[in-house]
Structure 1
């Protein structure tokens, strides 16, 4: 079965990766065998689930190794598979092809960032699609999630972040110290305007200067899409996504007696 590729790709934020997901979906429809995508960023996950989630022949599940994962692999299955019991299908989906990775090094005098880990692992041979979430654990290095093949290839490997040597070790997910799961919180802030930079600053608890830096780096998104204008006005229902910092959604907006704006938002 061939899906309407051109129509599905129209307006996509990442056509090459979305096209690969379409290839997978067509393979699942043709062979009746479930399949996994590579690790995908949150915006392309949302795009896939929005554009392909309406196909009645397919069902999708998102797995990243822990409940709050931002980078996930999507499991694609036929929803009308009659020769397999539904309980068995669900059990199969629990066998998630994600493994833990320890990255050890002495960063006491050279602070480490998740993006430093990602760059170093890619320089050691990991492809971007093989790497899930990565996080720093104090000054002794970091931890993360990756594909089974990537964990096997990196296990015992030596690399470097700048001038700091690192060593990788493949571990099970339950051996990791997973990031704390965010608890959704609703709060309000009074702002002079409903500009993106004002709401992002209040919602994520960072300065406007840092908001501008995050926009420039592409780490801050609006409604899962790229955003370049800090002056963009937000409305009820709009949401902001900041890599490694979660999501802020605008719940309500009302004008105060002093002609300012009271913005109720939810951060998760």
Structure 2
């Protein structure tokens, strides 16, 4: 058994981390690799820090593309991860190692006409949950203009929803399962540093500068629940930010406030890192 009390001490998401600990214990007990469902970026970061520190456990993450925010975790005994690949044909006295399985991921295309009712990834997620998906079934979601969206899902969900109708906001959509290599994945973001001069340190002002959105659009996204501040939900666009704060906007990555300097004209020069 793992030291649950120590691993959960100070956790931001103790209930979900408890479930991951139980899956890690299963992997250790059975000597079989275990894939979790998709987990949010903050839970993944916490699991990597806490479970990844255990000498007997190996933890890896996969979300279908390099900058995936939601990923599945592979939990397995460290001894299995360290073993060399098994020979093609093991003799009667040879022991074949257990190779780590490939990440069980599948693509799902959501097709519909969103010209008159534009949607965000959160709207697509809500529509799929209403169609019977579980949160752990759904990885990253990205929009494809007014034609719909694409996402990464568990193979079981993709197979179950393939060819089925669903509804996203007011739009009727069709669902199609596709291999990952047939998806049009989002362009990879290069981490970069940028600076801006703002009239205030409000979340909507700093966020609009960092994410390249209008301030009104940024405020709208904050109110809709699409933005997290230091991993916590935030609904007030007027929230004042400080150095070290991290904003995450679904589908657009993360923004970190590195520096704040007052200017002579009573404004603020901010330095940001976007990744």
Distance (whole Å) between structure 2 residues aligned to residue 136 and residue 202 of structure 1: 21
Q: How many residue pairs align between the two structures?
A: 266
Check the 8 A contact 1:3/1:22 in 2, yes or no: no
Correspondence 1:18 to 2:26:
no
C-alpha RMSD of the superposition:
2.9
Check the 8 A contact 1:40/1:129 in 2, yes or no: yes
Q: How far 1:123 moved relative to its partner?
A: 1.9
**Cα distance change of structure 1 residues 159 and 61 upon mapping to structure 2, 3 Å threshold:** same
Moved more, 51-60 or 167-176: 51-60
Distance (whole Å) between structure 2 residues aligned to residue 263 and residue 162 of structure 1: 37
| Correspondence for 2:255 | 248
Match of 2:242 among 234, 246, 250: 234
Moved more, 143-152 or 210-219: 210-219
**Cα distance change of structure 1 residues 214 and 108 upon mapping to structure 2, 3 Å threshold:** closer
Which secondary structure does the structure 1 equivalent of 2:261 belong to?
strand
Which secondary structure does the structure 1 equivalent of 2:146 belong to?
coil
Distance (whole Å) between structure 2 residues aligned to residue 125 and residue 260 of structure 1: 49
Correspondence 1:221 to 2:228:
yes
Moved more, 33-42 or 219-228: 219-228
**Cα distance change of structure 1 residues 257 and 140 upon mapping to structure 2, 3 Å threshold:** closer
| Correspondence for 2:135 | 128
Moved more, 8-17 or 237-246: 8-17
For normalisation by structure 2, the TM-score amounts to 0.83
| Correspondence for 1:201 | 208
| Correspondence for 1:33 | 32
| Correspondence for 2:155 | 148
Q: What does 1:52-63 align with in structure 2 at a 5 Å threshold? A: 52-63=51-62
For normalisation by structure 1, the TM-score amounts to 0.85
Distance (whole Å) between structure 2 residues aligned to residue 82 and residue 197 of structure 1: 45
Q: How far 1:210 moved relative to its partner?
A: 4.1
**Cα distance change of structure 1 residues 28 and 79 upon mapping to structure 2, 3 Å threshold:** same
Q: How far 1:195 moved relative to its partner?
A: 4.6
Moved more, 159-168 or 34-43: 159-168
| Correspondence for 2:93 | none
Match of 1:112 among 108, 119, 126: 119
**Cα distance change of structure 1 residues 228 and 56 upon mapping to structure 2, 3 Å threshold:** farther
Q: How far 1:208 moved relative to its partner?
A: 4.2
Structure 2: runs of 5 or more not aligned: 88-97
Distance (whole Å) between structure 1 residues aligned to residue 65 and residue 35 of structure 2: 17
Distance (whole Å) between structure 2 residues aligned to residue 137 and residue 53 of structure 1: 36
Distance (whole Å) between structure 2 residues aligned to residue 162 and residue 228 of structure 1: 21
Correspondence 1:73 to 2:72:
yes
| Correspondence for 1:44 | 43
Q: How far 1:13 moved relative to its partner?
A: 3.2
Structure 1: runs of 5 or more not aligned: none
Distance (whole Å) between structure 2 residues aligned to residue 179 and residue 43 of structure 1: 21
Q: How far 1:132 moved relative to its partner?
A: 0.9
Residue by residue over 1:26-58, the C-alpha shift from the partner in whole angstroms, topping out at 9 and shown as x without a partner, is 112222221111111112111211222221222
Distance (whole Å) between structure 2 residues aligned to residue 122 and residue 231 of structure 1: 30
